[in-house]
Amino acid sequence: MNLAVVGTGYVGLVSGTCFAELGNHVICVDKLEEKVDQLNRNEIPIYEPGLEELVRKNKDAGRLVFTTNLTQAVKEADIIVIAVGTPETETGAANLSYVYAVAEEIGEALDGTFKVIVNKSTVPVGTAEEVEKIVRRKKPEVNINVSSVPEFLREGSAVHDTFHPDRVVIGTSSEKAASMLKELHLPLTENIVLTDSRSSEMIKYASNAFLATKISFINEIANICDLYEADVHAVAKGMGLDHRIGPKFLHAGIGYGGSCFPKDVKALKYLAEEKGYQPNILQAVNDVNEIQSRRMVEHLDRIFDGDISGRTIAVLGLSFKPKTDDMREAPSVKIIQDLIKQGATVRAFDPVAKENAKQMLPDEVEYVDSALTAINGADAAFLVTEWDECKSLTPKQWKDSLKQPVVVDGRNALDKESLKAEGIIYHGIGRK
């Protein structure tokens, strides 16, 4: 098929590249000329394992093109995918200005042939209908269908997730559009949920909100474990063996971040409140996550009797999760701000997110090029993001490098017993 993908962020770039790998002809469109030039030089603006090789391969094969010319891309496409950002506003609602602007441009570019317009951006319920109205205001007799096919990609494994989806959700009112979209996605999976666009849009929000709920729930349990000297690892294992619960997303720590969970929980909460319904569970999920990252500093306060002024704290990991350079809603930001506010010196390491972090963190932060350098001579170390380089430090390296043998494990990713055996003061989240 011929696809136009509008937007070359995480969703658009990964989706467009992977659809090209399946044999489709894909034109990726972006308004930023410098970004398009960068992609045409095979320079990838995001860190995503496996993506650069796929971009290069499919560009060389002539299946993947990058351009600023939306009009030409729309004219050549059977399916037009909208994959632009929907950032959070001050109220928690999704900002749809980019989606609607693209809809207007698509409307101006359409000819008389049938086109399927796909909302792949995460959008509020009813957005597909609104996009269709905008397009038809430009060309009332246009032959289109606007459908919703939400993405379920995890940063750091987005290429894998595209090729191995748990399911594909297609929300449409058109049999012809449904047939085309099923044909496009059948090489990926036969687990296709066919529904209306409003239900499809709600599936995306509900899925992310539920996963965020599991994270906040186990973090709440971890906090209670701390009070009663229970071990949340044992608790989570015992819970997860119940097939009704399952083990995934029951990993206690310092909370979720990134571009999806924080924004989507707030956006769904806003949608409910717009209709006069108070979603108490969503409010609690958000509240627990807002304060969870600060528990790392609380552990440090207990160890040093509330005075960390003048102490050097090593912060290992800055991105919100491993295998990405994304700093959006990263717990490291609040943690480092709190440390500096209390007078501590922060020495930070992250293998890929340093440049993005510099734009969000105080100027006082010192950045180093290895985990071992970060902990050398530090009064304490925080494991914030469980990068392999950070997890692979041996108990002896921790002991020999730290000025004082204090490790606060915000991801519960280190071997507690081996560290304690080396004489290290170890604090995890809910780790007894």
Instruction: Render the burial of 235-256: b for 16+ CB within 10 Å, e for the rest.
Output: bbeebbeeeeeeeebbbbbbbb
Q: How far apart are CA 188 and CA 191, in angstroms?
A: 9
Q: How far apart are CA 425 and CA 317, in angstroms?
A: 20
Burial class (CB in 10 A: 0-12, 13-18, 19+), 419: buried
User: For 289, left (φ over 0), alpha (ψ -120 to 50), or beta?
Assistant: alpha
Residue type present at position 183:
E
Nearest of 112, 114, 96 to residue 104 by alpha carbon: 96
By the 8 A CB rule, do 314 and 379 touch?
no
Q: Please state, as a whole number, how many other Cβ atoms lie within 10 Å of the Cβ of residue 6.
A: 31
Token couple for 349 = 């390491």
By the 8 A CB rule, do 11 and 60 touch?
no
Q: How far apart are CA 230 and CA 430, in angstroms?
A: 7
By the 8 A CB rule, do 81 and 99 touch?
no
Q: How far apart are CA 345 and CA 183, in angstroms?
A: 56
- The per-residue DSSP string of 371-392 comes to HHHHHTT-SEEEE-S--HHHHT
Q: Quick check: helix, strand or coil at residue 208?
A: helix
Nearest 5°: phi and psi at 6?
Answer: -100, 115
405 CB contacts (<8 Å, ≥6 apart)?
A: 398, 399, 422, 423, 424, 425
- The per-residue DSSP string of 247-267 comes to STT---SS---SSSHHHHHHH
Q: What letter would DSSP give residue 301?
A: H
Find the catalytic residue in 18, 28, 225, 260. Answer: 260
Helix or strand holding residue 395 (H, E): helix 395-401
Count of residues for the chain? 432
390 is catalytic: no
Q: Which residues carry out catalysis?
A: 260
